[in-house]
Structure 1
Amino acid sequence: MARNSRYSDAICKPCVGICEWCPEQCGTHDHDHCQKCAEACRACVRSCRSMAAKDNG
């Protein structure tokens, strides 16, 4: 991202899908560490979407 790689979008889009799956799984568990993991993945989704949007201009 920092070097404006032409592959940034290609990397960010699959990360969104992967990080959307995680909270679907971890969020179903009541354990504190599972909920923290789910929230971290939700933050990752927001970040990857934002980076992909910047790359698309």
Structure 2
Amino acid sequence: MENHNHTALISKLLTCVAACENCATECLKEEDVKMMAGCIALDRDCADICSQAARLLQRNSVIAHQYLLLCEEICRLCAAECSKHQHQHCQDCAKACMECAEACHAHHEPITQD
């Protein structure tokens, strides 16, 4: 695998991690937490997956670009859920997730087995 400078992509991933962590934390403070359960679950998954993607890119892992397929998928799922809620933290998270999904889409490679 070629050694590329992934600084901009890693930055998008880490911005998404922060937005998702913030959204989950703020959702837990909402009056009807049960209504926010799906949002919280996706926030946590998205934060974990984006964090791992950033680490894989930083170490130039051979699967980093394939892993971005999964990252794009969870970002789109999280954005769709967050966009259903009017809370500012959800709207901010949806925006960060969509930007991250687009960045992942531009850099991912198909999953192949040799």
1:11 aligns with 2:67: yes
C-alpha distance in 2, partners of 1:49/1:2?
18
With a CA cutoff of 8 Å and minimum separation of 6, indicate the structure with the bigger relative contact order. Answer: 1
- TM-score, normalisation: structure 1: 0.77
Q: What amino acid sits opposite 2:66 in the alignment?
A: A
Give the % identical residues.
36
Q: Deviations over 1:3-49 (max 9, x none)?
A: 65431222100001100100111000011111000000000101101
Any stretches of 5+ residues in structure 1 without a counterpart? none
C-alpha distance in 2, partners of 1:17/1:24?
11
Equivalent residue in structure 1 for 2:95, among 33, 39, 42? 39
* Corresponding residue SS for 1:29: coil
Equivalent residue in structure 2 for 1:26, among 82, 90, 97? 82
Structure having the higher Rg? 2
C-alpha distance in 2, partners of 1:31/1:5?
37
How big is the alpha-carbon RMSD for the aligned residues of Structure 1 and Structure 2? 1.6
